[in-house]
Chains A and B, each alone.
Chain A
Amino acid sequence: MRTEKVMGSGQKKESLAAEVRSLFVSNIRDYAMYIALAVIFLIFTITTKGLFISSRNLINLVNQTGYVAVLAIGMTLILIIKHIDLSIGFVAGFLGAVAAILLSNGWNVWLVIPTVLACGVLVGVYQGFLVTKIQVPAFVTTLAGMFMFRGLLSMVTAGTGTIIVRDRVFLQLSNGYIPDLPWGANFDFHLLTMLVGIGLVAAMIFSQVRHRQSLIRYQFKTNSPTIFAVKQVALSVIIMVITWIMASYRGIPWTAVIVTVVLLIYNFVLTKTRFGRHVYAIGGNAEAAELSGIKVNRVTFLVFSSMGLMAALAGMLYTSRLASATPTAGLGFELDAIASSYIGGVSVGGGVGRVTNTIIGALVIMSLTNGMNLLGVDISFQYVVKGAIFVLAVAFDITTRKRAKA
């Protein structure tokens, strides 16, 4: 009886304009990120006289974002459970160098990749052990890690300086494209890419419709059919535009494939599995999680291990991209990863965040880098800009969250 009245006022018919307004107000945090991305695109497109949105540069942007995106996905979990990992930059740099060394020693690339990934997990296991079993704060553990791996990176590159990578397969990781179907030659675009794009749109619409139906069944707040349809159309258009850009160039870069697979796995784990639920619960209230039977230490340990794995993957992507390992690889990656997560909506207070948004955050950060590089902005000044954007994003996040409560 009592609930009915609340629901009556909650589910009442709103006018479309009112709904758009309330949608905007309550999701300002998410929309701000997209608006920021659009503004960045616009500004760089104008200032570079269109160079920024050329297919070539956009593909370049995707390849550039790859390693940061992978790190940021791992970092998102770490930040959700209210820890931090400052070591990932040099862990990635060091493991990238290890990959280069193994390759130049004649190891088979299909052996190198799993070996380096395993090393990454080991690094994560070591740091996770310190954080959970010995209770050394993550800040301290990973700050120490940052120094250690920076040192190790210098040591392994000390003799030779830069280590060149020549393995064809390995170089494909960050510079190659998926092959086309045999019939692709008949088209003046990349056929497989187009098909994948269309398939993606279909899958997205299908899953969104199902999700919406389930929400409606349990009286969750849902958008009106109009808004829902507009949203689907807009997203489909965006996906198709991106697909077209790639198809008319050389197809989907392998980096995009790798990032997508990682993203899908992490998204699945976070939203659909018990482990994911435990991660959010720990971030929201570790004490309550513990008293609900969650093994907080075990989850924390696994999250650090996954971070190590991602650092290894990112290191290889970066080495592949430069076709070499350098003594300074990894410098500042942790900042990019942390900034991506926060821009993507991870709460500074923990417990909140989505890997799908983190990817957008990574795009924001890397568009900035890419655009400023195109403009020939001095690297020192780039640091100032990035730092400022980072802190602004977090400040904005905190104030909008506070406002949302009122």
Chain B
Amino acid sequence: MTKKLLEMRSITKEFPGVKALDNVNITVNEGEIHAVVGENGAGKSTLMNVLSGVYPYGSYSGDVFFDGQLCRHQGIKDSERLGIVIIHQELALVPYLSIGENMFLGNEQQRRGRIDWHKTHQKAEEYMRIVGLQENPHTLVKDISVGKQQLIEIAKALAKNVRLLILDEPTSSLNESDSKNVLDLLLRLQEQGVTSIIISHKLNEISYCADRITILRDGSTVETLDNQSAEIPEERIVKGMVGREMTERYPTRSRKVQDEIALEVKDFTVYHELFPDRKVVDNVSLKLHKGEVVGIYGLIGAGRSELALSIFGQAYGTKASGKIYKDGVLLELNSVPDAIRANIAYVTEDRKGSGLILSNSIVHNITLPRMDFVSQGMRIDKDLERKTADHYRESLDIKTPSVGQLVENLSGGNQQKVLLGKWIFSQPDVLLLDEPTRGVDVGAKYEIYQIINELVEEGKSALFISSELTEILGMCDRIYVMNQGRIIGEFLAEEATQEIIMNRIMQDSKGEIGA
């Protein structure tokens, strides 16, 4: 016998110029894992923000019933009192506080007005056991991996006596094994009676764990599918999301890799920023041909981003040594402006932290790296600037009423497209792409792949860093495998498979190579 835990009836929510939700209906049964999917900007996060009280009662129309009762949340505290806990798209842990402190932030374990540290840490350990983490509760959050941080977010939610757990793209910055950890935890919690709503663009995860799937498109509910009795094929979900069949996940490139080398990195070594005797990039040499997409795969902490950043004008690390040649010429790249002038672009993996200026408009973000392209002398040509930005809004299909919109008002995936647009605008010959499709929906991923293809077909080249091995295998001509700062293998696309790559990493971690 199923009981409705949550019912949201004809929810409509408007922002100035945008109707984010238009008469959305959704019901969630007690004890199920309910997935919400849809394209970027479909309104998934907005719907969850309505549910959790981020947007208070009265700022939207429609009714929310939880456990049969009409909700009038004024803020997130009200929904938490009912046991509705949301884990937002971007992690919200405080890096310089310990695991224990983070877990009870805003929910401190007090005794007579003072924080009871003994109890805090004891309870923190208890909840960490539930989520399957073995860490010291005194460890600072910044010192543990993102995968573990996500588990701590969940533990933090559990500590609030959660009945309905909402996870907005919990796995977007995790690799496959960490993601699976999170999903298995959800399944275990389900057995203990926790209901959850999960939002994800990784459809294999949805098929894996969801009981029912609600699809949103353009702010409206399209359908709710039952994934329990028979597993829904991914293609079926995609069709509901984008409104048409999508057979291919990776577009094909028509032109071949050229023989000329675009970028060559030789004997590159970089040391840690804070611990100058720790090597983060260890004697790396690599080549990018013109018209080539080269993948770098490695587990988190392998040093991939650090490598890309240090190529990008030593934006990371200290005591960098080694040589960089572009088109056969030795480059001196001592700063980011040097690298940009040499037509190298780096698309960061952390769009909010180091990619975008959220409080600025789309136009201002896109033109930032090469404002000289849209200026005459000192003065910015605003007409030209807007026209340029508008071009990227169209070609990248950034969903917004105008390029004057502030980036903070865009959905996560659309922000990612702005980030990409910004660096394509800088007219690079070499693109260093660090997780370029993070948080992007399937349809838009395809479009981004196509844009990358177009660029390399023009003779540019791309270094493609990703934690999704399938994506690397689908997009790259050649793949480097990295582990602990070293390149431990190089494969052509034809010969690479998941097993071969994962085996190489395992062997290396065990220290068998070279033994």
Residues of chain A whose beta carbon lies under 8 Å from any beta carbon of chain B: 2-3, 5-7, 9-11, 22, 26, 214-215, 217-221, 272-275, 277, 280-281, 283-285, 287-295, 347, 349, 351-352, 406
Contacts and interface: CB of A to CB of B under 8 A. Distances in A.
Nearest to B356: A288
A6 B340 contact: no
Contacts of B19: 6, 9-10
Interface string B23-54: 00000000000000001010000000000001
B18 A6 contact: yes
B434 to A, nearest CB: 11
Given A2-B39, A295-B337, A406-B54, A280 B397 contact: no
A6 B357 contact: no
A284 B404 contact: no
B386 A218 contact: yes
Interface of B: 14, 16-19, 39, 41, 54-56, 59, 218, 312, 315, 335-337, 339-340, 346, 348, 353-360, 364, 368-369, 371-372, 375, 378-380, 382-383, 386-387, 389-390, 393-394, 397-404, 422
B56 A406 contact: yes
Contacts of B346: 291
Closest 8 CB pairs of A and B: A10-B17, A284-B357, A10-B401, A220-B404, A218-B386, A284-B359, A351-B359, A9-B19
Contacts of B312: 291
Contacts of A280: 357, 359-360, 364
B201 to A, nearest CB: 16
A165 B271 CA distance: 61
Main SS at interface, chain A = helix
A26 B15 CA distance: 10
Nearest to A9: B19
Contacts of A294: 368
Contacts of A283: 359
Contacts, number: 136
A6 B411 CA distance: 13
A277 B359 contact: no
Contact of A218 (B218, B336, B337, B387): B387
Given A281-B360, A288-B356, A22 B16 contact: yes
B39 A274 contact: no
Contacts of A290: 315, 336
A293 B357 contact: no
16 contacts: A2-B399, A3-B397, A5-B218, A6-B19, A9-B18, A9-B19, A214-B383, A277-B368, A287-B354, A288-B348, A288-B354, A290-B315, A290-B336, A291-B312, A293-B339, A347-B359
Given A5-B218, A285-B354, 17 more contacts: A2-B39, A2-B41, A7-B401, A9-B17, A10-B19, A217-B383, A218-B404, A219-B390, A219-B402, A272-B382, A280-B360, A281-B360, A285-B358, A291-B312, A291-B348, A293-B340, A293-B369
Given A281-B360, A289-B357, A291-B354, A6 B399 contact: yes
B19 to A, nearest CB: 4
Contacts of B56: 406
Contact of A221 (B16, B340, B372): B16
B402 A293 contact: no
Contacts of A351: 357, 359-360
B397 A2 contact: yes
B403 A218 contact: yes
Contacts of A219: 390, 401-402
A290 B402 CA distance: 26
Contacts of B355: 288, 291
Contacts of A221: 16-17, 401-402, 404
B239 to A, nearest CB: 16
Given A22-B16, A214-B383, A287 B368 contact: no
Given A218-B404, A291-B348, A273 B379 contact: yes
A274 B353 CA distance: 22
Given A2-B39, A3-B399, A6-B401, A292 B369 contact: yes
A306 to B, nearest CB: 16
A343 B480 CA distance: 55
